[in-house]
């Protein structure tokens, strides 16, 4: 029997409840789900790759299914091939996501036609959540507990405390 392997790639900076929704649902579609934590040259991460991998690993404990967390720094289709994946799992939040993901799926299909992209719509209550927005809210001192688990919220708060909140200099001026 062939094991169906899927890859769910992302920066996961930080991992959100939206990511976890896609992980739980994606794990039901394949026998083995590989969560690929990657770098993205167009993003400046709050957490290192090792910190993000540890965060995702902790968060997926207890999720049903065979789940592996690995890092990669290559073309997604090369990574999928190395992992033996035939499915790329991608989460969609809104129409803007679809346009970008549709283009990426088309490019990936040209690179490796043996790998299919499967889109999962995020749960309606989780659709507005984006790691970028979670970080921005945290940097301005806003609450993020509705968007991430308590453990992730604590890690983000600790990091923000170390790097400093935006706008603090203005609040400290007389």
Three-state SS letters, 21-68:
HHHHHHHCCCCEEEEEEECCCCCCCCCCHHHHHHHHHHHHCCCCCEEE
CA distance 81 to 43: 25
Of the residues 19, 86, 90, 135, only one is catalytic, namely: 19
Q: How many residues does the chain have?
A: 174
Of the residues 52, 86, 90, 131, only one is catalytic, namely: 131
Q: What angle do CA 12, 14, 18 make, to 5 degrees?
A: 70
Q: Annotated catalytic, 19?
A: yes
CA distance 163 to 115: 40
CA terminus-to-terminus distance, the chain: 70
Q: Annotated catalytic, 68?
A: no
Q: Annotated catalytic, 74?
A: no
Q: Annotated catalytic, 71?
A: no
Q: Percent helix, strand and coil across the chain, each rounded to 5?
A: 45, 20, 35
Of the residues 43, 114, 132, 146, only one is catalytic, namely: 43
Of the residues 24, 58, 82, 93, only one is catalytic, namely: 93
The catalytic residues are 19, 43, 93, 131
């Amino acid at each position: 029997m062939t094991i169906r392997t899927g890859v769910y790639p992302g920066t996961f900076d930080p991992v959100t409840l939206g990511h976890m929704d896609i992980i739980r649902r994606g794990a039901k579609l394949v026998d083995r789900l590989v969560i690929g934590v990657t770098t993205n040259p167009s993003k400046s991460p709050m957490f290192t790759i090792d910190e993000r991998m540890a965060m995702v690993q902790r968060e997926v404990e207890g999720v049903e299914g065979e789940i592996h967390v690995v890092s990669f720094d290559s073309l997604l289709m090369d990574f999928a091939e190395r992992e033996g994946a035939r499915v790329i799992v991608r989460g969609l939040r809104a129409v803007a996501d679809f346009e970008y993901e549709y283009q990426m799926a088309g490019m990936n299909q040209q690179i490796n036609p043996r790998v299919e992209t499967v889109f999962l719509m995020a749960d309606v209550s989780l659709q507005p959540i984006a790691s970028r927005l979670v970080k921005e809210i945290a940097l301005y001192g806003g609450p993020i507990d509705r968007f991430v688990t308590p453990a992730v919220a604590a890690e983000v708060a600790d990091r923000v405390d170390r790097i400093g909140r935006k706008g603090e200099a203005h609040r400290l001026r007389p």
